Structure 1
């Protein structure tokens, strides 16, 4: 039935899998109920495509899996195996951080095959009673995957209208009338070759064909809502959680006393935020109107835990008790997650912050964090749109963006060299904001021994011993970490006769990037992690009687992507090497990729600089 030999040659080029047939049918019965059926057939060409031999479907008390079947075929289309009930696992998403969770998953996977190609077919049908969410159709869902035929069908009943947004689609929707007076919507994608993501390419959403859908009216567990604009979503969320921000009188009096001598809003917010961090902890709670209704603040006051909704609502209640107004803010969170589609209002959020307008600024509080200063959002929720929740209906605003000068790494190193090239090094590194975030998980999530193992993997020196170390968080409104290391480095410098070859950059080498092997298609995208400023000051104590054979000329490299400078000076028996790098995030034309490669190649070469010392 599914002969691999019939796949067009153009669809196997650069592909690990070929989608032979993928049909998603979403049939809306009413504002509160729908059925979704997904029929997929994928031919797997090599072992890098084996992950597609598995399917996972989630469900909870608002959704039910009514069908999950599968068939495995060999390359000639012969049936090898059909899924049995015993082949389907059913498990909870419960984990240590998920204290309450009614979400479950069904998982089915065919065994690894001894030869390629082979084909897997799955049929999944679910009934849905949480129609806040309609499907997003992404038929070409992964890199190195081609598509032979894919179809997306949505049927709306009379009186309900579908909202949709097409991205990167070669064609537009086909409309036809349904028998009951409703409407059929059909999208197709045919013979789409596999693509390989280019390095430093924009997010996949900007390249992949996709159709986003959403309701205009919906119902979930007796709550009805409209979804025509962002204000509608804000009003619905507000109504869903209205009246759940009350706290006990004794707690109200306690926070009032805590902030009694504070005259500014920012001062009150900082004290309340520290109180929150000291008194509560984060757990995931996926309950209540599809996971969108919060636990009451009074319950959080007693239990001392909550998820992002509950802790945000609780903090809002604490601030309200001391006369500070704050608003929940829905956000699409995650490092590298795309921003919400600002022109397509929908419930594509996965997290909640708290927005606090103040006299000087607007603060966003990450209420699930036990260690961030008040107002810091980081790359997880920074530089994106959030939806403010207000009684009258809120609006989209942006969270803070951190500039290169905000994300610094300042490193000072003292190195003592021997004639044999061995060295001891004392290193002090100070990091702020996004650069500090690299230390958060090791600092707060790892034991002392685990921290040491993390450092040993992180330090890129070929041969060294870590004699001692410390990592500590620096107090203040700007998040910062100081790391100190004591190292013994074997054969860091290379002796040769009367000469000693000394590499200058101990820990901060910035490597090159891969050149393009074919004409660049996509823009050059440098994300938030490329907004930084690094400085290294390294002082080498050179063995007695050694003097430099030549001087290192100062070097400056400048481009639209950033600036690099390095110079070295000799002061008696000391060599002082100073290196600075400033990088800028941004979007650049595809034609600039060769310039990006050249800039990184120049920087990488400069970072490998050595000085030669000769014994007199």
Structure 2
């Protein structure tokens, strides 16, 4: 043994990195040593007064780190029932009975490090060794519950929030006054949602049972803040006041979080949204964001399974997911060659995830601030934004932005004698990490995406087109790409369409996926030769 750590060398912190106020804590040690490799042996105990699930087992304590051995031990009364499941590994199991208790021991050995420096990586828990353990019956928040089915969990959650939807009379009157002049339920929900966004703000508070039980609606009404649970409950209470039924719904949100395993009931959600089934429409409302348009269902919760909490009628359903016509960029550019640079007038229609990427930028009023923010979201390299403006646009019910840009590309022109080589800017699928020869993890495309790009290159006076690349098309299960060149007098039109198809693809598909992406990259880098007359 090289070193052991005393209690005073272990630093204890409140985990305020994610929430405004929480009773979650973490401990930290500085286990530095000047010779590699070395092993770290860690043992810890967690104590809970109440629980609806046992602690999740992660036999590896970090990515890119191997695990020599990890043990999970669970001692329960002899007749205690629970269900469990292991993902991405199969530990050894040993069960021992003594007196009136039964001890389960699981052990993993020699787990290889998980390599995450790869593009198109799925959420870590899809590839990370994980063990989940859920009691079939429990008492939490003073309420008896069960986890044998999703209906059981929804029933317990419904009981936990029962009675928290009471509003002050003056608030009920105000909500009715806001909506009495409207005949359509859709428009009434929209009006109340706008009121919610204008009057409240999000603050994450997770203390004890507060991690599962929201503040009551009257508290939010008075204090004008709440977390996802409290704001959703408040919105539900306001809709109830005008006779519209809605449902508190649990979901595991975030692109970095996996969807729930619908075949393994358990309370492992991290977010709450509101489900509003109308006669001619179904709405999903994100109640924590003051900026998103009404009815917009974004990438944070797109295509995930949610638990609709309705007592004995609770059920699991999948939320809407983007189709290619909802998550897209339609880009048009006019390109001139001026002083050995590309001068570009560009318009980009942004919907879905591209819309979200610039949505928060609009809170900055000065053009300088907008340019700084836009520079971080555009997919190009080596360019300068001279001007940017955003206009709101609609595509059916979908809200988007028209991004209007004036750009300069100083490095896309090369002169060879009196001739000019032009390299149009690459608009598609840049990756943070290279597509290596080997792949260790599945390929994950989170959302359907379409990008269309029309470039009008104006040939400068005194030049003619000498060399134009060939057209190209590729259609695969991962998506498709099409590139066409059309010459009209002294203008070259470059027409491009690319699509990615949502899905998690096995490692065995990687060679074909790599070929698809590399073909796009190679064709995006094709050069055009202009000859001096």
> What residue in structure 2 maps to residue 65 of structure 1?
none
> What residue in structure 2 maps to residue 88 of structure 1?
10
Displacement of 1:156:
0.6
What SS is found at the alignment partner of 2:403? strand
Displacement of 1:569:
2.5
Deviations 1:353-405 (A, max 9, x none): 00000122321100001122233222211112111111334111111111122
* Aligned equivalents of 1:89, 1:171: Cα separation in 2: 32
* Aligned equivalents of 1:409, 1:502: Cα separation in 2: 24
Distance 1:577 1:433, change over 3 A: same
Distance 1:163 1:290, change over 3 A: farther
What SS is found at the alignment partner of 2:68? strand
> What residue in structure 2 maps to residue 438 of structure 1?
357
* Aligned equivalents of 1:447, 1:173: Cα separation in 2: 62
> What residue in structure 1 maps to residue 50 of structure 2?
130
> What residue in structure 2 maps to residue 369 of structure 1?
289
What SS is found at the alignment partner of 1:118? coil
Distance 1:587 1:111, change over 3 A: closer
* Aligned equivalents of 1:303, 1:175: Cα separation in 2: 52
1:270-309 equivalence runs, <5 A: 270-287=190-207, 289-309=209-229
What SS is found at the alignment partner of 2:279? coil
1:157-556 equivalence runs, <5 A: 157-171=77-91, 173-179=93-99, 181-196=100-115, 200=120, 203-287=123-207, 289-418=209-338, 420-444=339-363, 449-459=368-378, 463-474=382-393, 477-504=397-424, 506-511=425-430, 514=434, 517-518=437-438, 524-529=442-447, 531-556=448-473
TM-score normalised over the length of structure 1: 0.79
1:574 alignment partner, one of 481, 491, 508: 491
> What residue in structure 2 maps to residue 70 of structure 1?
none
1:421, 1:500 within 8 Å by CA — same for their partners in 2?
no
Distance 1:448 1:177, change over 3 A: farther
Unmatched segments (≥5 aa) in structure 1: 1-76
1:474, 1:481 within 8 Å by CA — same for their partners in 2?
yes
* Aligned equivalents of 2:278, 2:202: Cα separation in 1: 26
1:166, 1:172 within 8 Å by CA — same for their partners in 2?
no
What SS is found at the alignment partner of 2:109? strand
Displacement of 1:411:
0.9
* Aligned equivalents of 1:221, 1:195: Cα separation in 2: 37
* Aligned equivalents of 2:130, 2:230: Cα separation in 1: 33
2:95, 2:105 within 8 Å by CA — same for their partners in 1?
yes
Most deviating of 316-325 and 423-432: 423-432
Distance 1:83 1:483, change over 3 A: farther
Deviations 1:197-224 (A, max 9, x none): 5654655444444321111222235333
Distance 1:561 1:439, change over 3 A: same
Deviations 1:313-337 (A, max 9, x none): 1101111112110000001111131
Greater relative CO, 1 or 2 (CA 8 Å, sep 6+): 2
Displacement of 1:553:
3.6
Distance 1:284 1:194, change over 3 A: closer
Deviations 1:2-44 (A, max 9, x none): xxxxxxxxxxxxxxxxxxxxxxxxxxxxxxxxxxxxxxxxxxx
Deviations 1:466-488 (A, max 9, x none): 22212455467413122222223
Displacement of 1:308:
0.5
* Aligned equivalents of 2:526, 2:390: Cα separation in 1: 29
Deviations 1:231-272 (A, max 9, x none): 221121111111111112222222222222322222221111
* Aligned equivalents of 1:89, 1:440: Cα separation in 2: 39
* Aligned equivalents of 2:379, 2:78: Cα separation in 1: 64
Distance 1:158 1:243, change over 3 A: same
Displacement of 1:537:
1.3
* Aligned equivalents of 1:287, 1:542: Cα separation in 2: 65
Most deviating of 381-390 and 114-123: 114-123
Most deviating of 280-289 and 341-350: 280-289
Distance 1:323 1:288, change over 3 A: farther
> What residue in structure 2 maps to residue 64 of structure 1?
none
Most deviating of 450-459 and 560-569: 450-459
Unmatched segments (≥5 aa) in structure 2: none
Most deviating of 487-496 and 396-405: 487-496
* Aligned equivalents of 1:448, 1:240: Cα separation in 2: 48
Distance 1:163 1:250, change over 3 A: same
Most deviating of 440-449 and 467-476: 440-449
Distance 1:547 1:465, change over 3 A: same
* Aligned equivalents of 1:588, 1:288: Cα separation in 2: 39
Q: CA RMSD in A?
A: 2.7
Deviations 1:134-170 (A, max 9, x none): 1211213443333332221111124532322233443
Distance 1:521 1:109, change over 3 A: closer
1:282, 1:368 within 8 Å by CA — same for their partners in 2?
yes
Distance 1:589 1:461, change over 3 A: closer
* Aligned equivalents of 1:509, 1:333: Cα separation in 2: 26
What SS is found at the alignment partner of 1:311? helix
What SS is found at the alignment partner of 1:404? coil
User: How many matched pairs?
Assistant: 530
